[in-house]
Amino acid sequence: MVYDDLRIALERKKRIKAAYEQEYEIKWDMIHISERISIMLPEGAAELEGEKSIKRFGRNENKRIVMTIPGDEANFLFQFQRSTVNGPESVQAMCDSLKNMIMRLQPANYFYSDGMEDTDHVDIRWFDFESFALDGKMYNFIFCASVKFLDELLIGSFHCREEKADIWKPIFVDSVYSIKGLEEKDET
């Protein structure tokens, strides 16, 4: 007898393998999400403004950028938070607190994996999980990034329908690892 959870896991593994074997030609655009932070997003990503942004993600007082792919296949949300402490420890602490908060609010969410990337100027931590929506399941990819010479913490999330996660996760990971901090030019 094959249990349902084992069958589901095997089917998901087959979908992931098939998605990686297919060639997805992604064209990228460099997007400046602040004056001093840029990220590569799939070509055609456009900012949602005003009422569309509020309707999709609610009101928020913090500086926030909401972007979407044509056809609403995936959404990108970037939010900035002032931070007096930079470095891998503060980024990890923020990422852990977000994950714990999500687990407490909705214990039924299924968490997949997490990752990190530390470069000369950017510390990145991320995790991904599946959540329930009104008409199905959503795949969520959340990250925290700290640019070492800035006093802001970038918190972002990418969302798509769960059945498209196999296609979008590698794109989300590549996008997060493309974050660059732009140092101020010395004009002396």
Residue boundaries of the structural domains of the chain:
4-181
Instruction: Answer yes or no: is pLDDT of 84 > 90.
Output: no
Assigned superfamily of 4-181: Mog1/PsbP, alpha/beta/alpha sandwich (3.40.1000.10)
| DSSP state letter for 23 | -
Instruction: Answer yes or no: is pLDDT of 107 > 50.
Output: yes
Q: Residue 36 has what pLDDT?
A: 82
Average pLDDT estimate for 38-46: 87
Question: Are the beta carbons of 108 and 77 closer than 8 angstroms?
Answer: no
> Can you list the alpha helix ranges (DSSP code H) found in the chain?
4-21, 50-57, 88-105, 165-176
How much of the chain exceeds pLDDT 90, in percent? 20
What does pTM read for this prediction?
0.77
Average pLDDT estimate for 119-141: 89
Instruction: Answer yes or no: is pLDDT of 28 > 50.
Output: yes
Structure-block tokens of residue 144: 């925290």
Average pLDDT estimate for 123-139: 91
Which residue has 């802001």 as its token pair? 152
Q: How do 152-161 and 74-82 pair as beta strands?
A: antiparallel
